Structure 1
Amino acid sequence: MVSRPHDMPAAFATAFNSGSVDALLALYREDAVFLPDGVTVLSGPAIREALQGFLALKGPIDMKLTRVVEGPSTAVVVADWSLPTPNGTVLTGRTSDVVTRSADGSWRYSVDAPFGVKA
C-alpha cells in the first residue's frame, strides 16, 4: 500500500524490479489508463500486456522523484527514470502520472504516462 503520492515512483521501481506484473498492477486503479508512448491510451488487459513488454527488458529500472503537486485526493507525480535494455542501450523518460487516493487511503495510478503526454 502506497500511503503518499511521493512514494509512487519508489513503489513502482520496487514492483518493476521484482519482475511481477501482478505487483505492478496492484499499483493501478481498475479504471486506470496507460500511455506507453505518450500518445496511445490503453486500458484494461492492454495495460498488463504493455507492462509485460517493459518487464521483458529485464531492468532494473531506476526512478527519481522530480515533483509532486498534491490535492486532497488527486496528485500529479513527475519522475525521471532509466531502464537498461538487453542490447546495451538505456531507455529514459520523464513520467507525468496522475494518482488518486482510494477509499482505503492508499494511492494508485489513474493515468500512467512514462514518457509524458504528447499532443
Structure 2
Amino acid sequence: MNLPKKAEDAHAALAAAFNTGDVNTVMSMYDVSGFIVPEPGKPVSGAEKFEEAIKGILSIKGKMEIKTVYCLQTGDIAVGRSEWSITDGDEVKVSAKGIEVMIQQNDGSWKILIDHAFGAEASLVA
C-alpha cells in the first residue's frame, strides 16, 4: 500500500488500509514510536502493543469509513480531526470522533504518530 503524499489524505488511506483486513498493511500507516488509543483511557505504544491494538480493531468485522473534519499542517507535522465508523450493512458496530497527529517521512509520505480514536468525544474527560 502506498502511504499518502498529503497529510489530509491520511484518514482515507487509513480506512483503505483497515478495509484490506491485513495487519501489516494497517501497521504500515503508523509511526510506532508514537501511540494509539484504541479505547478510551487505554493508550498503548511500541510495535507489539500497536499490533495488538490493530488486531483488536480488525476483529470488528465490517467496513471502516473515516471522514476528515479538518487537517492542519505546519512543516512536517499535522493534526487531524476525524469522524469514523465501522459498519456491517446497516449495523453500526462502532463509531467515534478522533484526533490524529501525522508526521511526514523522509520520502515525503505521511504516517500517523498519534491516533486517539475517541479523542474528540464530548464525554471524554482528561
- For each residue in 1:8-51, what CA deviation from the matched residue of structure 2 results, as whole angstroms up to 9, or x when unmatched? 11101100000011101101113121011232221121111111
**What does 1:82-97 correspond to in 2, within 5 Å?**
82-84=85-87, 88-97=91-100
Is this contact kept in 1: 2:66–2:85, CA < 8 A?
yes
* Identical-residue share of aligned pairs (%): 28
Structure 2 stretches lacking a partner, 5+ long: none
Which deviates further from its counterpart, 103-112 or 31-40? 31-40
Residue matched to 1:104: 107
Q: Distance in 1 between matches of 2:62 and 2:53?
A: 15
Q: Which runs of 4+ in 1 moved over 3 A?
A: none
- For each residue in 1:53-88, what CA deviation from the matched residue of structure 2 results, as whole angstroms up to 9, or x when unmatched? 110111201111100111111000111111126xx4
Deviation at 1:95, TM superposition (A): 1.2
Quote the RMSD (CA, aligned, Å): 1.7
Greater strand content: 2
Residue matched to 2:36: 34
Is this contact kept in 2: 1:57–1:84, CA < 8 A?
no
State how many pairs are aligned: 118
Other structure's SS at 2:4 match: coil
Is this contact kept in 2: 1:99–1:109, CA < 8 A?
yes
Deviation at 1:89, TM superposition (A): 4.6
Residue matched to 1:56: 59
Residue matched to 2:77: 74
Q: Distance in 1 between matches of 2:40 and 2:69?
A: 18
Structure 1 stretches lacking a partner, 5+ long: none
- 2:22 is aligned, of 12, 20, 23, to 20
Q: Distance in 2 between matches of 1:109 and 1:36?
A: 14
TM-score in terms of structure 2 length: 0.86
